[in-house]
Structure 1
């Protein structure tokens, strides 16, 4: 006991200095936790006012909070005399190894964050993304869940989506229905055009503004092709398309306007030598 008291007496100044440093280090850690909470909370409040997904907001705020706490711990250790260079080197090496091992996952994560920030589509939209067409059911950090028209669930990696063009069929409130109808060369073009116009105007789902486009687009080999392009609400697109196909066929048949099959006229010529032999 006497030796211990002697050691404390001889090293009193060093112990006091170390105690002061330890107290300051504790205050640094406490301050780091408080600062991390304040900054992450402020970040969440600011980002909640934007269109960024709540999942992304929480994740980013968590990353910022963790980085501030790690920085505070390193500062506290450094203040009490612990060499933090080795810790930083170990963290850097570990981060590099993890990054290389999870390269694909990190790419999907980064793409997921970009999708949630820029919002090229949202849940419920019908899109063509990553070569897959379907209705968006859920957007996650690593994948996007689509449901195809035949009720299949497709899990698409986010990196695949952002690496290609994204077509959002539901983004705009209206869409144009593009149809082509071929009629016989014997048909009266003006009567045919009026027939198409009357059928479209009789459909309440077809918008009057902008007006539908009906015009001859091509004098093809076997038919005169009309383009018929009405505008509809996006939700009515397929209904109008399928109903128009059926109604236009019936109306053309009743009007006696033929829809020709592909055909080719073949002309045979005999040479003079073949004619003499015959």
Structure 2
């Protein structure tokens, strides 16, 4: 009989707890339904906003996901609080968990932050040719954690965004045109003026080299075994390398034809008598 009375007592307590908790439970369910609907509406408005703006697609996707996750976390906290969980305790638990995760993922978080900075400030974009971390290549993809570069050899270089955002980057496509600098050594017996005229004529014959600003040649150094001339000219990014390689090849052809010596290291070996 005593066991039946104890059982009935537990049932009565459970029923009382259920009726006491029912209002909060219903409010939590209502809050969850309404909150989910509001988040869906906000996400739709955000997508429409980005559709009207010319932002980087990677940045749009990232910001949409970040806002959606933040709103869902906020809704979760509100629902749990409505069920009777103390908000201070919940915040403490979330904070401790966040600290533990942050310590475990320091490198990933640094790359994440670097990705956000790159997407926000846009030091480069997909399609730009850049030099960074000792790698030259065309930007193929910018993600939250890494950036992929396609090198001259058709390899894919993957660079962590944390390193990219905290080190020097040269963006060769930031401007429409680039200036080339080619150093050419000639012998001390060669005619400097004639060599300079040949270099300028080569630039004048190449249609992809800008005539304004005009190419220029000057004596850059009187070295130990050569007079070093420096040639500078401008070309559009799309035809820069075509112009560069044309000039390099023509220098050799025309200097040989005009008898202008291009010095090169020589080693003389003397064989001693036995």
Larger Rg: 1
User: What is residue 227 of structure 2 aligned with on the other side?
Assistant: 224
- Pick closer, same or farther for the CA change 1:138–1:71 going to 2, 3 Å: closer
TM-score when normalising by structure 2: 0.81
Q: Does the residue aligned with 2:124 lie in a helix, a strand or coil? A: coil
Aligned partner (choices 199, 209, 214) of residue 196 of structure 1: 199
C-alpha distance in structure 2 between counterparts of 1:223 and 1:55, whole Å? 52
Aligned residues of 1:44 and 1:58 also touching (Cα < 8 A): no
How far did residue 94 of structure 1 move? 1.3
Match of 1:160 among 159, 163, 178: 163
- What is aligned with 2:3? none
Say which of 117, 128, 131 aligns to 2:131.
Answer: 128
- CA positional deviation for 1:23: 4.0
Q: In the alignment, which residue of structure 2 is the partner of 1:181? A: 184
Question: Which digits, 9 at most, give the CA deviation of each residue in 1:8-27, with x for residues without a partner?
Answer: 9xx7xx95x85554444333
Q: Is the partner of 2:60 in helix, strand or coil?
A: helix
Deviates more, 1:151-160 or 1:79-88: 79-88
Q: Say whether the 8 Å CA contact 2:58–2:142 is kept in structure 1.
A: no
Among 56, 64, 76, the residue aligned to 1:53: 56
RMSD over equivalenced CA pairs, Å: 2.9
* SS across alignment from 2:193: helix
Q: Quick one: structure 1 residues 70 and 193, their matched pair in 2 at CA, closer, same or farther if it must change by over 3 Å? A: closer
1:270 aligned partner = none
Residue in structure 2 matched with residue 68 of structure 1 by the alignment: 71
Gap regions ≥5 residues in structure 1: 264-278
Corresponding pairs, count: 256
Give the TM-score normalised by the residue count of structure 1.
Answer: 0.80
Secondary structure, aligned partner of 2:253: helix
Give the match for residue 266 of structure 1. none
The match for 1:259 is: 262
Question: Which one of the candidate residues 137, 140, 150 is aligned to 2:140?
Answer: 137
Find the aligned partners of 1:115 and 1:48 in 2 and give their Cα distance: 20
Aligned equivalent of 2:173, options 170, 173, 181: 170
1:121 deviates by 1.7
Secondary structure of residue in 2 paired with 1:177: strand
Q: Which residue of 2 aligns with 1:267?
A: none
The answer on whether the counterparts of 2:226 and 2:263 sit within 8 Å (CA) in structure 1 is yes
Q: Aligned to 1:230, what secondary structure does the other structure show?
A: strand
1:171-228 CA-partner distances (Å, limit 9, x unpaired): 2211111011222333333332222211210111111111111122223332222211
Q: Aligned partners of 2:28 and 2:264: how far apart in 1?
A: 88
